[in-house]
Amino acid sequence: MLLTYPNKTTYEAINGTEQKIPYVRMATWGAVGVFTIAFAMGLQRRPIYDKPYQHVIGGLIYAGIGYKVHFWQMGNLNKLEKNRDRLVKRRMMRLLAEQEKETM
């Protein structure tokens, strides 16, 4: 983070104050699951809350998908940050070596 942004206040100004809590994202995915089941029943011209356990199951399935997506995304962002740091260090070492050659 420090190599990408000069300080913490710049990071917060660009990306917001804090990262979203995974529970909020999971609840959003769960709500999408409940809406999907209700929409499917509406398309079939059935009562929307005919079998409420289907809504619970749909919400749980989508919340599980949201959980997996969140941690997959966080893992990929961590890998990307490590690779970026490695590349920046390599570039700095190369620039230092070039400066040493010029001074000799």
Provide the residue ranges of all domains of the chain, joining segments of one domain with +.
Answer: 22-103
Provide the pLDDT for residue 93.
92
Q: Give the residue, 50 or 43, on which the prediction is more confident.
A: 43
Read out DSSP for 39-88?
HHHHHTTS-TTSSHHHHHHHHHHHHHHHHHHHHHHHHHHHHHHHHHHHHH
Provide the pLDDT for residue 71.
84
Query: Which pTM does this prediction carry?
Result: 0.61
CB 62 within 8 A of CB 25: no
Question: Residues 6 or more apart from 32 whose CB is under 8 A from it?
Answer: 62
Provide the pLDDT for residue 2.
46
Q: Is residue 1 very low, low, confident or very high in pLDDT (cuts 50, 70, 90)?
A: very low
